Chains A and B, each alone.
Chain A
Amino acid sequence: MLDIVGKRFWFFLISGVVILVSIISLVTFGLETGIEFSSGSLMTVSFEQRVDQDDLKRELTSLGYANAIIQHTGAGDFLIRTHKLTGEEKTGLQDALAAKFGHLIETEFYSVSPMIAKETAQNAAIAVAVAALGILLYVTWAFHRMPKPFRYGTCAIIALIHDALVAVGVFSILGGLLNWQINLMFITGILAVIGYSVNNTVVVFDRIRENLTIGVSSDFEVVVNNSLIETLSRSLNTSLTTLFVVLALLFFVGVSIQNFAVVLLVGIVAGTFSSICIASPLLVVWERGEWGRFIRWLPLLAAKARGR
C-alpha cells in the first residue's frame, strides 16, 4: 500500500522550500497593490489605430505621468494606472492622447480615493484574519468528540496558511516580473482558497475520525495513512473538476478575472497538496511528539546527498 505518511518529512521539505521561495520573493519584490488598496485611477482605453506601448509610455511621461503603469490587454487596448485623477485632469489626458494617437474610447474608468483605499485594505485584512479564526473554531468544534480537537483545528489552519502563503508568493513573483497587482478579486480568491483548502482537509480528518472510532489500528500513523489512501481519489477528483472550471475561466474570460483565476489555480493545487501531504501528516508528528526528528533528519539528508 502507498505510504504517504511515511514520506512526511519529504513533503515538509518540499513545502518548506516553496514557502521559503515565497517569503524571499515577498521580501525582495513585495506585493504590487492595485488602486483599490493604494488609491489612484485606472483607465481602460481602446485606440482605433495601432499604438506602441513604448510610445504610449513616452507620451504619458511627457504629459507629466511618469509614474503611470501601462498594461497592454488587447489589440489597441491599454490599462493605464495613474494617481487619482480629477475630472479636468482626466479630460486633459484623454484629449492629449487622442491628439497624439488618434481616436480613442474609454471603456472603463475606475478611481479610488486614499480614504476608501485604506478602509478597503483594512477590512480585507480583517476578513482574512476572521476567516482563519472562524475556521479554527469550527474545525475544533466539529472534532470536539475526538481526543485533542484543538490539534485538528491547528493543523487545518497550518495547511490553510501554507496555501495562502504560496498563492501570495506566486503573486509577489508575478508582481515583480509582470507588474501584476493584487486587488479585491485577489482577496476574494484567497478567501475562496481558504475555504477550499479547509474543505479538503476536513474530508480527510472526517475519515480519520471514522477510522479511529472503528478502531482500524492502534497505530495512529496507520490510521491516518489508511484514511488518506481512502480519500485520495476523492481529493484528486474534486480538485480536477474544480481545476477544469478555473482553467475555463482563465482562458475564456481573460484579464478582468485573471487575478481571481490564477489565485484559485495556485490555491487549488497547493490546497490539494497540503490537505494530503501536510495537514494529516502533521497530526502524526504532533501525536508522536517528533518535532525534533524533522530537524535532525535534514542534516542526515544533506549528508546522504553529499555521499552520492
Chain B
Amino acid sequence: MIRKNTWVLIFILVLFAFAISALIYPLFGREAMRLGLDLQGGIHIVYRADLSSVEPGEEADIMDGVMAVISNRINPLGVTEPIIQKQGRDHILVELPGIDITDREKERLSRVALLEFGELATDEEEARWENELGRWKPATAVIDGEEKALTSRYFRENTYVDRDNLGRLVLAFEWDEEGSRLSEEITSRLIDRPLGIFEGGESLLGEDDSPIAPIVRSVIKDRGVIEGLSYNEAAKLSKQLNAGRLPVSLEILYDQTVSPILGANFIDMSVRAGVIGIILVMLFMIIYYRVPGLLACLALMFYGASVLALFKLIPVTLTLAGLGGFVLSIGMAVDANVLIFERMKEELRTGRTLGAAIETGFNRAWTAIKDSNVTTFIVCGILYWLGSSIVASAPVMGFALTLFIGVAISMFTAIVVTRTLLRLFVGTNLAQQVSLFSPYLGRK
C-alpha cells in the first residue's frame, strides 16, 4: 500500500514539474498562451457575400476567389496569424489578431474585388502602382473616343485552367465585346512586354510572393491564355479573376474590433482576480478543514498549474470569458475536496481510525462527485455547441472549454492528488492528533 502510494506521489510530482516547465519554457513549440481577440486586440469580422448575380454551381468558386482577394488585401497589413475562412454558403470570417486597424483599412477589405491590368510606366509618366518589377500605370486604350482601363469586369465567362495543344498548363479567358476591343489595342502595343495584374493598390502575388505579370506573346482579341503559371497559381489566379468579374459586394454582418491596449488591461485584471480568488479559497480551506485543508491547497496549486499548462499546450484560445471560466473552476475545484473531507469527518465521528476514515470517505464521496460533475459536463457540451453554431462564438466556447478542462482536472486532483497526500500524512506522527483534522472532533 505504502509503496504504491510512493509511486503515485512520484507520478504526481513529475506531472507537476512537467506542468510548471510547460508554463515557463516553450515546450512543443508553444511559446505563449494563445489569447483571444478580446485579450490581445484585433478584429473579427464576418462578411456576407451578395451572390445574387452568381449562377448556381459557380458559387463555391466565386467565394474562393473573393477570399483570395481578401487575403491579398490583408497581406500588406503584416498580421502574423490571419484567419480567413468560409462559413456556410456565403459567409466569410476574417480574424486578424493583435492589430490596430483604421476604419479606412477595414472598409477597404470589403470593397468589391475588381482586378485591374497595368503596363509599365515610363519615367515621365505618373505611376499608379510600384513593385519589384517596376512602376506601373493602368493599361488603357481609347475606344469610341473614350479612354478606358482594362479590368476584370470585361470577362465574358469565367476563366478556367486548361492545357494548350503542347500540353502546357494555361489560364484561359474570354473578353466580352468591349473588352475585346480594349484588349486588342492594348496587347498589340505591349507585345513582349509584361501585363501586370493589380487589386486595389496592391500587386497580385504568385506562389513565391512575387508579383504576377505575364508577358504578352501575341495580340489578344476575344480570347487568350496566360502561360507560365504553376497549377496552383493558375487555379488561384483564375478564382481571383472570376471573383472580380461579378459585382459580389460584401456586407459586414458582425464586427468586433478591440484595441490591443484594452486587451492588456483585461489580462492584468483577470490575473489579479484569479490570484485573490485562490488566496481566499485557500484561507477558507485551511481555517475550516485544518490539515486536510492545507493538503487541498497543495492539490489546488497542482490543479492551477496543470490546467494552465493544458491551456497552453492544447492550445485553448483564452478569452475574457474563458479566464472567467477558469477562475470559477477554482471555486468549484475544491468542491470535490469539500465533499470528501465532510465525508471523512462523518466517518471519524462514527469512530473509525483516520486511515479507514480517509478510504471510506473517498469511496463514499465518489458517486456524489461523479453524478454532480456530469451535469456540469452536459452544460459545457451544450455551451460548446451553442458557441460553434453562432458567429459571436469566442466567449461561449472559451468558457465551455475552460470550465470543462477545469472540472475534469479537479476530479483528478481531488481523487488522486489529495488522497495521496492524505495517505502520506497518515504515516506521520502528526496524524495522532485528530483535532488537526476537524476542529470540533477534539472537543466532543
- Interface, chain A (partner B; CB < 8 A): 36, 44, 87, 90-91, 105-113, 115-116, 119-120, 123-124, 126-127, 130-131, 134-135, 138-139, 142, 184-185, 187-188, 191-192, 194-196, 198-200, 202-203, 206-207, 210, 230-231, 233-234, 237-238, 240-246, 248-249, 251-254, 256-257, 260-261, 264
Bound-state CA distance A1–B408 (Å) is: 36
* Nearest CB on A from B429, distance (A): 29
- CB pair B379–A192 under 8 Å, yes or no, is yes
* Chain B residues within an 8 Å CB radius of A238: 331-332, 334-335, 338-339
Nearest Cβ on chain B to A61's Cβ, whole angstroms: 23
Please, what's the 1-or-0 string for B266-278, where 1 marks a CB less than 8 Å from any CB in chain A?
Answer: 1001101110111
Assess whether A241 is in contact with B281, with CB atoms less than 8 Å apart: yes
Residues of the B chain whose Cβ atoms lie less than 8 Å from the Cβ of A256 = 38, 266, 320
CB contact between B262 and one of A108, A199, A233, A260 (< 8 Å): that residue:
A108
Closest A residue to B386 using CB positions: A127
Instruction: Decide: A110 and B371 in contact? CB cutoff 8 A.
Output: no
Is B390's CB under 8 angstroms from A252's CB?
Answer: no
Q: In the complex, are the beta carbons of A120 and B259 less than 8 A apart?
A: no
Inter-chain CA distance A256–B335, complex, in Å, is 27
Instruction: Pick 27 A–B contacts, CB within 8 A, sort by A.
Output: A107-B258, A107-B261, A108-B259, A109-B256, A110-B255, A110-B257, A111-B252, A112-B255, A113-B252, A115-B253, A120-B390, A120-B391, A130-B385, A135-B379, A138-B378, A188-B399, A195-B378, A199-B372, A203-B372, A210-B364, A233-B342, A237-B288, A244-B280, A245-B278, A248-B277, A252-B273, A253-B324
Are B385 and A119 in contact, with the CB atoms below 8 A? no
Q: What's the nearest-Cβ distance from chain B to residue A287, in Å?
A: 21
Identity of the chain B residue whose Cβ is nearest the Cβ of A124 in the assembled complex? B386
Contact B255 A253 (CB under 8 A): no
A192 neighbours in B (Cβ, 8 Å): 325, 328, 379, 399, 403
CB distance from B32 to the nearest CB of A (A): 21
For the residues of B in contact with A, the DSSP-based class is: helix
Q: Report if A241-B285 is in contact (Cβ < 8 Å); known contacts: A138-B375, A234-B338.
A: yes
A246 and B328 within 8 A (CB)? yes
- Let me know if A127 and B269 touch, CB within 8 A: no
A111-B254 contact in complex given A203-B339, A241-B284, C-beta closer than 8 Å? yes
B residues 275-311 in Cβ contact with A at 8 Å: 276-278, 280-281, 284-285, 288
A112 touching B266 by the CB < 8 A rule? no
How many angstroms from the CA of A126 to the CA of B96 in the assembled complex?
Answer: 30
> Do residues B269 and A252 form an inter-chain contact, with CB atoms below 8 A?
yes
Q: With A127-B385, A188-B395, A264-B328 given, can you name 10 additional A-B contacts, CB distance below 8 Å?
A: A124-B390, A192-B328, A202-B372, A206-B372, A238-B332, A242-B328, A243-B331, A245-B281, A252-B273, A256-B38
Q: Hey, which chain B residues are within 8 Å of A196, CB to CB?
A: 332, 376
Cross-chain contact B338 with A242 (CB below 8 angstroms):
no
Point out the residues of chain B lying under 8 angstroms from A203, CB to CB: 339, 368, 371-372
Q: Which of B368-399 contact A (CB under 8 A)?
A: 368, 371-376, 378-380, 382-383, 385-386, 389-392, 395-396, 399
User: With a CB–CB cut-off of 8 A, which chain B residues contact A244?
Assistant: 277, 280-281, 284, 331
Residue of B nearest to A264 (CB): B328
- Nearest chain B residue, comparing its CB with the CB of A142: B371
In the complex, the answer to whether B368 meets A202 with C-beta atoms within 8 Å is yes
**How far apart are the CA atoms of A286 and B323 in the complex, in Å?**
41
Q: Provide the B20-31 mask, 1 if CB < 8 A to any CB of A, else 0.
A: 000000000000
Query: Is A135 touching B375 in the complex (CB atoms < 8 A)?
Result: yes
- Provide the bound-state CA to CA distance between A245 and B332, in Å: 9
Contact B391 A119 (CB under 8 A): yes
| Structural contact, B284 and A142, CB atoms closer than 8 A | no
A134→B378 contact, CB < 8 A: yes
With both beta carbons as reference points, the residue of chain A lying nearest to B393 in the complex is identified as A184
- CB-CB nearest in chain B for A244: B280
Q: How far is the CA of A107 from the CA of B100 in the complex (A)?
A: 10
**Shortest distance from the beta carbon of B125 to any chain A beta carbon, whole Å:** 33
Chain B contact residues (Cβ within 8 angstroms of A): what range? 35 or more
A199-B373, A245-B280 known; A112 and B392 CB under 8 Å? yes
B357 within 8 A of A: no
- B347-378 contacts to A, CB under 8 A, are 364, 367-368, 371-376, 378
> Is B103 located at the chain interface by the 8 A CB criterion?
yes
**Can you name the residue of chain A whose Cβ is closest to the Cβ of B367?**
A206
B254 neighbours in A (Cβ, 8 Å): 111-113, 116
**Set of chain A residues within 8 Å of B19, measured between Cβ atoms:** none
Query: Across the two chains, which residue of chain B brings its CB closest to A249?
Result: B273
Answer whether A130 and B376 are a contact pair too, CB < 8 Å, given A185-B395, A248-B274. Answer: no
The listed residue (A113, A127, A131, A257) touching B320 by CB distance below 8 A is: A257
Partner of B103, one of A91, A202, A231: A91
Contact with B253, one of A105, A113, A199 (Cβ below 8 angstroms): A113
Taking the closest CB of chain A, its distance from the CB of B52, in whole angstroms, is 15
Contacts of B399 in A (CB 8 A): 188, 192
Known: A194-B379, A202-B372. A240 touches B284 (CB 8 A): yes
Chain B residue at smallest Cβ distance from A234: B342
Q: Judging by beta carbons under 8 Å apart, are A195 and B379 in contact?
A: yes
Residues of B within 8 A of A207 (CB): 368
Q: Which 3 A-B pairs have the closest CB atoms?
A: A195-B379, A242-B331, A245-B277
Residues on B with beta carbons closer than 8 Å to the beta carbon of A126: 386
Query: Is B106's CB within 8 Å of the partner chain A?
Result: yes
B182, CB-defined interface residue at 8 Å: no
Q: B371 near A116 (CB under 8 angstroms)?
A: no
Specify the chain B residue showing the minimal Cβ separation from A94.
B103
Question: What's the Cα separation between A230 and B347 when bound, in Å?
Answer: 12
Give the CA-CA distance A225 to B303 in the complex, in Å: 34
Does any Cβ of A come within 8 Å of B46's Cβ?
A: yes
Asked whether B321 is an interface residue with its Cβ less than 8 Å from the other chain, the reply is yes
Residue of A nearest to B271 (CB): A252
Tell me the complex Cα distance, A252–B325, Å. 15
Most buried by B among A139, A142, A188, A257: A188
B255 to chain A: which residues have CB within 8 Å?
A: 109-112
How far does the Cβ of B214 sit from chain A's closest Cβ, in whole Å?
Answer: 35
Q: Which of B228-260 contact A (CB under 8 A)?
A: 251-259
Interfacial chain A residues near B368, Cβ < 8 Å: 202-203, 206-207
Partner of B375, one of A113, A202, A249, A251: A202
Contacts of B103 in A (CB 8 A): 87, 90-91
A249 touches B364 (CB 8 A): no
**Are A184 and B262 neighbours in the complex by a CB distance under 8 Å?**
no
A192 to chain B, nearest CB (A): 7
- B294 CB, nearest partner CB in chain A, Å: 15
User: A195 contacts B376, CB within 8 Å?
Assistant: yes
By beta carbon, the residue of chain B nearest A256 is B320
Least distance between A214 CB and chain B CB atoms (Å): 11
